[in-house]
Structure 1
């Protein structure tokens, strides 16, 4: 297909964003609306549509847009047009370079100067991009460009984390800590595309000077362009801060830094670097280098906020010595342990260091905050560092410098947290509750064990394989089949995989649209997985889609088979002998053997098996309750809480 001019090209996901609907909805439009535009580019599996044709179609079908989408329709249309034109660059440039072209062209439009295509880029594509940007009001241009950059960053993964990205939680955190700055200098030695610096200004910071250093030329150019679009005077220099200090005389009132993790250090260079007065960092990690670089550039009353990997808080060797020297020198105000997944490209937790010169009185304590279980610490840290009232809501501890430096100067907040105060009434309540739960579980288990009996059998039942049951017309089987992309999206939320069968937990489909599809289960169907071992359950509700290794078995003749008994019998241990495969054992479903007694006997067997499994569950519950009871009693002993008035005389010594 040849791309069509006029507004660029949109992928189905772009159309969904423009209309404020799901991708499945767009898929439905394509299948059911005969006037929906035909693909104008892309491939059969990844089609692209003319943006102008899509916009015309949505205008002709206003009911297809969600209300919240219509409210911001102008902004969404600008973004969709930009994204559509951006699709014209696919295959001609990298995602990084596409962001640089977008920002540079926006700056050209903003400053009324011509735009030129770079190497390998068609001038016609740049001209289309410029035309779309020119239609956006100047007051909205920076924000619209940023939202497109935010979408672009989703496809960059780890590399986006190294240069920063619009919408970053960590950049928001640093900006929030800086927002109160009035006058002075704000500095970021690894500013990337300038997200934290510019967001700080948007949140209220009003420094006299903003300085940024960045090693990546493309990221620096994007940062420079974003600053121009916002009317912010950014003093930006492309520099390798680790190898050479680009401005040794710079002293800043606030320094923020979110440097890349895991950067290696050139020890030959660092041996004589005046910034490293607290110790020479190990070659394997630059965390300790960045901390010392920030300290070296703080003004007398300045404060630094640095994000590092958690290892910098506890690693031994040279880093432990550097930590000790920083703490002894009174430079560490606070450390905040953050939760994992603050960055999209890594799940490791982060550490926020708050650094500053010692005031008139030598600092004797360091504030350690454990925010590892806080959902959105980026909204809270500034308040925690500002006053005790907000700080009381999060686990924290003020630890003396003497105690911190006695060992390896481990600054991991969780390491120093004391157990919370124990409520005596609550301990007594928990103990009484566990006693009641134990009595209830024991009574129910005892009742089941007394009543349990094997069902009466009239004789040896016939044993048939699944294949023979199918041939006899008693059951029907179907394995999970790959679906078309459009169908898969429509059936999203109904999937049942092997893990769900093993847990015996099926997703609820009551909230989904009632659709008819032959791949879906009916109430009473048996779901089976035969990988590693055999697990089976009855789908009482129906409407699910078996995926992966899950089979669906439907009882075709209910006068011959009860589905609940069938699910029990399929898992019989005798079938495990059929397993084959050295790495992942699999049992051939058609060869699984099922004894087939009378229907009345099947139901009696299912009842007995269910009672045995209920006894197993009760025993498991009783074991958990017993563990909880033991823990509660030990807690009571630790805190001197009496749980009984029974005298202890006569107990084993």
Structure 2
């Protein structure tokens, strides 16, 4: 194990916001590039401090971010034969100390390393036992001696916690682990977790039998008695730290947290528990879930054992067995669980007993795996006197379709409101006997249980919902038609919308200059976001800063995510030029008061900030959009094209000529944007007309008197 942090070529590329091929080119072209310090011939590693120094000297990075320093130090502590996330446990223990007892650390922080090596582990173990109890502290498996590398990490973590707070610092460290988790459901995103928690309601006992990194239990809030279990003991410990760090520092100890490692189906850590709410995103498509060992388990209703290929239904029954009568179980499941033939008997029993209350189809991008439109199942713990037998089928994907681009395109506030309001109205009617909410064609319907109990018992919402008529009928479509006509007014006359042009002969051997050379000359600044800031759902508070993603930039839409305000955030300002790191042909100028003004950079973006006296922003953006510039400056080492923005070449052009070309480029960009808006509106109009005619909600209007066909 190296005594100083080392990085691979891939990690160097991430730091500089470039592709791996660019790092290979630097090694070949620059004799002063740091020499390998370890690794293998095919995958060498380099000293982080030497790499950072070289990147700063070359102007490719201003300073290695503190968060990246912490991550690299954690990597240095990792045992190649151990769990990749194990070093995070010691980091989390230090953050817990700063959160619960900062004074304890203050008494030690100025001590020499020889004393800290033994005193700090004792302090961390004492705090962990006080806050988490003996079992929780034992789960952390904290070392008895702090080495020099760990003490270096401690001082970095102290700075990170001072900048962001211990809880926020911990979320930043967990973010990359969640993205790389072998089981996608181990890292449920906060928006999806908040939806499940709000459906369950506040307080009470909350259980997650496949808790992963603890997102669902975190959303339940510190007011709940939170129980959990996970097969991965390190993930269980990380989740425990996460919940403790998000609990107020003055909360009574030990905290009401009971998270245990183990296989929930084979070795339930909470036998006999009847929770007020069970929230779960279980593992998917598991063949070895315990089918043979659990043939006679009491959790299976009427002796119906879930088939070997229906592990998800085994988790549904496990969660239902832990739900008190009248309590709620909410699970995120693949859509195939609602229709696979092998599971029809289990589904029928859930419907027949009245336990299954709702199936909600969510848009793709709501939770991992992000390319799959998951279903949300809601079940009530059966009560002897409850004879309600209807199932709410809600197609939230149809009500709020996610645009192409996946997770960054989900309109979470609208989706959250639709699901929560629809469920609450239905659930209130089921419990009080009041009239059910009116069905909404194409979106939701309360289906009688008998209508679902056929040979297939297919619970897919789209199958049981009548097609929706166009919203607003013919009047709304006529309005869309008028809007489309207005939008087409400009593009319909390209001669007026576009600059005048004629043939010209490109000058032979025209001098070129790269973006990197312009940056070194002070004509512009280059900022690459790399992984970007850690986005969260947009909030209502003034501290929230919109976060622009690369998908937002590519589609030309306003930012859909947000982040907490911080002095270290790089935000856009008028005159900046934004370019995605993946792909080419897109470059947008930030306009004053526009949707891109004052936003923070999300992942995989480049920000170019030209000096307007030397470089016109619209000229720069126009050249970046040209096919040749992007092609020559991109790497093609994989199926993804990555732009090395510093290699983009621009013609050396006087400022006056730049401004003239910039004005032309701006008119072309506005023309293209108008076409995109018209195309989107045209598709909406065409689909509305098609749906209306197909469902009978619209009829074609004859232009003249109808005549009957002549008889033969």
TM-score, with structure 2 as normaliser = 0.54
- Tell me, yes or no, if the aligned pair for 1:187 and 1:211 is still in contact at 8 Å: yes
Match of 2:474 among 422, 425, 431: 425
Instruction: Report deviation, 1:106.
Output: 4.0
Superposed, 1:256-271 pairs within 5 Å as 256-264=279-287, 265-271=289-295
CA distance in 2, matches of 1:509, 1:83: 32
Q: 2:308 aligns with which of 269, 272, 283?
A: 283
Q: Aligned match of 1:403 in 444, 451, 456?
A: 451
Q: Does 1:86 align with 2:74?
A: yes
Q: Residues 530-550 of structure 1: CA distance to partner in whole angstroms, max 9, x if unpaired?
A: xxxxxxxxx989754445799
Equivalent residues in 2 for 1:392-541, closer than 5 Å: 395-422=443-470, 423-426=472-475, 429=478, 493=579, 506-508=585-587
Residue 274 in 1 paired to residue 274 in 2?
A: no
Separation of aligned partners in 2, 1:637 and 1:139: 54
Q: Is the 8 A contact 1:259 1:308 kept in 2?
A: yes
Work out which structure has the larger RCO, using CA pairs closer than 8 Å and 6 or more positions apart in sequence. Answer: 2
Q: Is contact 1:636–1:642 with CA below 8 Å preserved after alignment?
A: no
Matched position secondary structure for 1:247: coil
C-alpha displacement at 1:354, in angstroms?
0.8
The structure-2 alpha-carbon separation of the partners of 1:394 and 1:158, relative to structure 1 and needing over 3 Å to count, comes to farther
Query: Secondary structure of the residue that 2:316 maps to in structure 1?
Result: helix
- Give the superposition deviation at 1:45: 8.5
Instruction: Give the C-alpha shift of residue 122 in structure 1.
Output: 8.3
1:213 aligns with 2:229: yes
Distance 1:428 1:104 in 2: 59
Alignment match of 1:299 (pick from 324, 336, 344): 324
**Aligned positions of 1:323-362 closer than 5 A:** 323-358=347-382, 360-362=385-387
- Aligned pair partner of 1:163 in 168, 176, 186: 186
Shift of 1:84: 4.7
**Partner Cα separation in structure 1 for residue 76 and residue 480 of structure 2:** 67
Give the whole-Å Cα distance in 2 for the aligned partners of 1:293 and 1:632: 45
Q: Identify the match of residue 197 of structure 1 among 205, 217, 227.
A: 217
SS of residue in 2 equivalent to 1:340: coil
Deviation at 1:114, TM superposition (A): 3.9
Check the 8 A contact 1:334/1:355 in 2, yes or no. yes
- What residue in structure 2 maps to residue 322 of structure 1? 346
Q: Aligned equivalents of 2:166 and 2:620: distance in 1?
A: 53
What is the deviation of 1:51?
11
Deviation at 1:392, TM superposition (A): 7.2
Number of residue equivalences: 480
1:181 match: 202
Three-state SS of the structure 1 residue aligned to 2:331 is strand
Change (3 A) 1:642 1:288: same
In structure 2, relative to structure 1, the CA distance for the partners of 1:316 and 1:88 (3 Å cut) is same
Q: Determine the structure 2 residue equivalent to 1:386.
A: 424
8 Å Cα contact 2:85/2:234 also seen in 1:
yes
What's the secondary structure of 2:227's corresponding residue?
strand
CA distance in 2, matches of 1:186, 1:513: 49
* 1:322-378 deviation digits (Å, cap 9, x = unpaired): 111101111111111112223355411211111103564521321111122252446
Q: CA deviation at 1:97?
A: 2.0
Deviation by residue 1:507-539 (Cα, 9 ceiling, x = unmatched): 35667667999xxx99999xxxxxxxxxxxxx9
Q: Tell me the distance in 2 between the aligned counterparts of 1:314 and 1:238.
A: 32
Q: For the residues of structure 2 that align with 1:143 and 1:629, how far apart are their CA atoms? A: 44
Counterpart position of 1:370: 395
Write the distance in 2 (CA, Å) between the matches of 1:306 and 1:130.
38
- Structure 1 unmatched runs, 5+: 32-36, 70-75, 445-472, 478-482, 501-505, 526-538, 551-620
Shift of 1:194: 2.0
Q: 1:108 to 1:436 in 2, by over 3 A?
A: closer
Q: Output the CA distance in 2 between the equivalents of 1:288 and 1:148.
A: 33
Q: What's the CA shift for 1:634?
A: 8.2
Maintained 8 Å contact 1:523/1:542: no
Q: Partner of 1:148 in structure 2?
A: 173
Q: Is 2:275 the counterpart of 1:252?
A: yes
Question: Contact between 1:494 and 1:543, CA under 8 Å: does it hold in 2?
Answer: no
Per-residue Cα deviation, 1:474-532 (whole angstroms, up to 9, x for no partner): 9999xxxxx99x999989948998xx8xxxxx435667667999xxx99999xxxxxxx
- Does the residue aligned with 1:333 lie in a helix, a strand or coil? strand
Partner Cα distance (2:277, 2:377) in 1: 13
CA contact (8 A) 2:91 2:157 kept: no
For residues 523 and 129 of structure 1, the distance between their equivalents in structure 2, rounded to whole angstroms, comes to 42
CA distance in 1 between counterparts of 2:392 and 2:451 reads: 13
2:259 counterpart (231, 236, 248): 236
List gaps (5 residues or longer) in structure 2. 27-31, 105-118, 123-140, 403-409, 427-436, 494-505, 511-515, 521-525, 529-576, 591-607, 642-678
Say which SS state the counterpart of residue 267 (structure 1) adopts.
coil
Helix, strand or coil: the match of 2:284?
A: coil
CA distance in 1: counterparts of 2:211 and 2:163, whole angstroms: 25
When residues 263 and 475 of structure 1 are mapped into structure 2, their CA distance, relative to the original with a 3 A threshold, is same
Q: In 2 relative to 1, CA 305–632 (structure 1 residues): closer, same or farther, beyond 3 Å?
A: closer
TM-aligned CA deviation for residue 436 of structure 1 = 10
Q: CA deviation at 1:255?
A: 0.8
Q: Contact 2:467–2:695 at 8 Å: present in 1 too?
A: no
3-state SS of paired residue (2:325): strand
Distance in structure 2 (CA, Å) of the matches to 1:476 and 1:523: 22
Equivalent residue for 2:699, pick from 633, 641, 650: 641
Counterpart secondary structure, 2:446: strand
The 2-side partners of 1:510 and 1:418 are apart by 45
CA root-mean-square deviation:
5.7
1:599-618 paired onto structure 2 within 5 Å: none
Q: Report the alpha carbon displacement of residue 650 of structure 1 after superposing the two structures with TM.
A: 4.4
CA shift, 1:144, in A, is: 1.6
TM-superposed deviation, 1:295: 1.2
